[in-house]
Structure 1
Amino acid sequence: MMEKATKRDCNTNPTRYFCSMKKLDLHVQNETSRLRAVVLGTARSNGPVPDLKDAYDPKSREHIIAGTYPKNEDMVVEMEALAAVFEKYQVEVFRPKQIEDCNQIFTRDIGFVIDDIFVKANILPDREEELEAIKYMLDQVDPEKVIRPPEEVHIEGGDVMLYNDYIFVGTYRGEDYADYIIARTNVEGVEWVKKTFPHKKVVSFNLRKDNLDPYNNALHLDCCFQPVGVDKCIIYKGGFLQEEEYQFLVDLFGKENCFEITQQEMYEMNSNIFSIAPDVVVSERNFTRLNTWLRSHGITVEEVPYAEIAKQEGLLRCSTLPLIRD
């Protein structure tokens, strides 16, 4: 039987997790509305440094080779800094049930909410147990509101971004899709989203993929783009294979509202911050240029250390799965 924990326990002690059996009424329609409930990953038992052949992305591979792969204890400190920010803003936090020697940091990969529907992602097969680790939370959701795409549909939460009437979906349309372990959402995934949410405007983006070079790889859409505030976005042109698709976003938001990041800033994951509200974001403390820009537009920036987690080609958005936004 799961042990009950207070909200404070959930935020400060990742070995315990929230267990109130009240009904969860999911609601997410964009990336920036006031956050009320979220699943935050855990780094408590990440396991040993992976073998090079088991690296899921080129940045992890780079750090395995260099001997600089992040240590569990350092990543725990970073995640708890984020948890403390959620506590400050009275966000209800769920943590995955701990699985020994399993990377459970990136909860965005395993699912996402559109409107009031929780979509279980079709993830890499050996990550399936990560979904089981949040079953206690999903048990609090109306079963009719929890769905899973058919097996041929590949889709992960990092590639799905909500902007009110729009759903933006990152994908890779190349015939060599199967050759890229970092291609996580296929064209079937895009079509499935269109059919499942016909009331939304679904726009897909063909992303640049590279198994070996993290400077030329957009693992997910949130590695090269993300809305912020009410009408602004962070964007990296080089992450898009079709310039017209990049231009669509620039035209939609307005060039004056787009913060263009450099290749180095993309590598450091500047587009992967996380919004608690239209006027509050959590960002990595070393993102000096971005954080200055955000503050210049009236946005409060809660800075946290997250550079170690970034070595696995994921950052703040990747390690969070919003359940309820106003």
Structure 2
Amino acid sequence: MNEMTSPIHVTSEIGKLKTVMLHRPGREIENLTPDSMERLLFDDIPYLPIAQEEHDFFAQTLRDQDIEVLYFEKLAAEAIADDDVCKEFLQRMVAESGYVAGATHDALVEYLSSMDRQTMIDKIIEGVRSNEIDIARPDLQLVAENQDWPFLMDPMPNAYFTRDPQAAIGEGISINRMTFPARQRESLITEYIINHHPRFAGQVPVWRSRNHETHIEGGDELVLSDHVLAIGISERTTADAIEDIGRHLFKNSDYDTIVAISIPHNHAMMHLDTVFTMINHDQFTVHPAILDENGHVDNWIVRLGDNGKTTFEHHTDIKEVLKTVLNKSEIDLIPTGNGDPIVAPREQWNDGSNTLTIAPGEVVTYNRNYVSNELLREHGILVHEVRSSELSRGRGGPRCMSCPLVREDI
């Protein structure tokens, strides 16, 4: 298959984007409170009406470039159209929300089953509050454990960052084991989309499923070419998971090389794509804080050895490594905020490095990162700016908010 016939086809970060999956933020954002932000991985509360306006502007910016926009929540509702599939999905979702059996489990299943498919999906993402359901004989242990918590099923406010629960690689996908409980149910929805939606069912190899102890997230997975990946060793992705997905890709696809890049394990740099993105054949954005005074960062070239075992080759000069694996004579690393000690961390905090490339040398960025954006233009990049006052409060930019499904080859 090729990019014209396969439902998933991503062989680079920069090939012209043809199809992308987004999630329009919904009432799950309004279910954030100061007390729940840490548990739900937020450090601020976006104002939903403006966040939705900004997201619609983002989606329209993509459509204006002839990019097909699919919505995660609509694909999910269509994937569970069959009654038996819906019943299985609901049982698994309620179980992963903490209720394998018992009165609360039964009440949640009955409550959600009463809804049409789209309303059910929206409600699951939004979260179910304790006062929405009358449980005749509540599970006493659960009541004791959660008496100060207003939700029976937690909201999923991170769902508008569709990059992370999965990652399209070649004509397949990784369905990811997410790191924190607040996000783990998101990829269960992905699993049902891939397995049961008529657009994808039976056509998409899964390079790594979500049924693992080790974790990996899509913000750390960058498709550099038709045979090379870069994956961040980060707060959200473990080295063991990188080795695992590498073994499957090396044996079952055209991918033969992974560049594993170590980044600081903290909330400000949670994924590789918050500090490093590919924007052209030989150009990358980089947050200077991940590099030492020599411009180096620990990285490993991971390949499959002749003996069938994974090999690791340690390097520090990321420019030289990129030149080698991409067969380029030079690499242009463009620093966030022009490397200024005040501007760079400020703009990186608001995702100045989190660029979504929609064609070689053409990107979508947040308008608030004006120093980084002007520098991109000086380096010959075409920049489409999108609004960002509320969406950016979730600590994710245009790449975080998008899951490319089809790109043209380069």
Structure 2 length-normalised TM: 0.63
Give the Cα–Cα distance (whole angstroms) in 1 for the partners of residues 33 and 243 of structure 2.
Answer: 34
CA distance in 2, matches of 1:312, 1:255: 35
Q: Counterparts in 2 of 1:144-293, with a 5 A limit?
A: 145-147=205-207, 148-164=209-225, 165-172=227-234, 183-198=235-250, 199-210=255-266, 217-239=268-290, 243-245=297-299, 247-251=316-320, 252=322, 257-261=332-336, 262-293=344-375
Q: Which runs of 4+ in 1 moved over 4 A?
A: 253-256
Deviation at 1:274, TM superposition (A): 0.6
Distance 1:117 1:93 in 2: 19
Q: Do the aligned partners of residues 161 and 125 (structure 1) sit closer, same or farther apart at CA in structure 2, a change above 3 Å counting? A: same
Distance 1:276 1:44, change over 3 A: same
Is this contact kept in 2: 1:112–1:118, CA < 8 A? yes
1:77 equivalent to 2:137? Answer no
**1:26 has 2:8 as partner:** yes
Structure 1 window deviating more from structure 2 (96-105 vs 114-123): it is 96-105
Deviation (angstroms), 1:75 = 1.1
Deviations 1:73-112 (Å, cap 9, x if unpaired)?
A: 1211111111111111111111122523232211111100
- Corresponding residue number in structure 1 for 2:144: none
- The structural deviation recorded for 1:168 is 1.0
Q: Output the amino acid matched with 1:189.
A: A
Shift of 1:159: 0.7
Which deviates more from structure 2 when the two are superposed, residues 193-202 or residues 294-303?
294-303
Cα pair distance change 1:231/1:88, threshold 3 Å: same
- The answer to whether the aligner puts 1:108 opposite 2:168 as a matched pair is no
**Number of aligned pairs?**
283
| Distance apart, 1:142 and its partner CA | 4.6
Match of 1:141 among 200, 213, 217: 200
Gaps of 5+ in 2: 74-120, 127-155, 300-314, 324-328, 337-343
Once the two structures are TM-superposed, the CA of residue 132 in structure 1 deviates from its matched residue by 4.9
Asked if 1 retains the 8 angstrom alpha-carbon contact of 2:297 and 2:318, the reply is no
Q: Give the RMSD, CA atoms, in angstroms.
A: 2.6
Q: Could you tell me the TM-score, scaled by structure 1's length?
A: 0.78
Which one of 99, 119, 122 corresponds to residue 122 of structure 2?
99
User: Hey, what's the Cα distance between the residues in 1 that align with 2:346 and 2:249?
Assistant: 36
Could you tell me which runs of 5 or more consecutive residues in structure 1 were left unpaired when the two chains were aligned: 1-21, 64-68, 173-182
1:265 and 1:256 mapped to 2: Cα distance? 23
Residue aligned with 1:26, SS: coil
SS in 2 for 1:168: strand
The 2-side partners of 1:80 and 1:24 are apart by 27
Q: What letter matches 1:151 in structure 2?
A: H
**What one-letter code is carried by the residue in structure 1 that aligns with 2:206?**
V
Instruction: Report if the CA contact (8 A) 1:206-1:240 is conserved.
Output: no
Q: Name the structure 2 match of 1:118.
A: 173
Which is worse superposed, 118-127 or 49-58? 49-58
Name the SS for the 2:357 alignment partner.
strand
Cα distance in structure 2, aligned partners of 1:322 and 1:256: 24
Distance 1:221 1:117, change over 3 A: same
- Equivalent residue, structure 1, for 2:303: none
Q: Is the Cα–Cα contact under 8 Å of residues 278 and 357 in structure 2 kept in the other structure?
A: no
Change (3 A) 1:264 1:54: closer
Higher Cα radius of gyration: 2
Letter in 1 for 2:370: T
Distance in 1 (alpha carbons) for counterparts of 2:12 and 2:66: 19
Please tell me the residue identity of whatever aligns with 1:286: R
SS of residue in 2 equivalent to 1:243:
coil
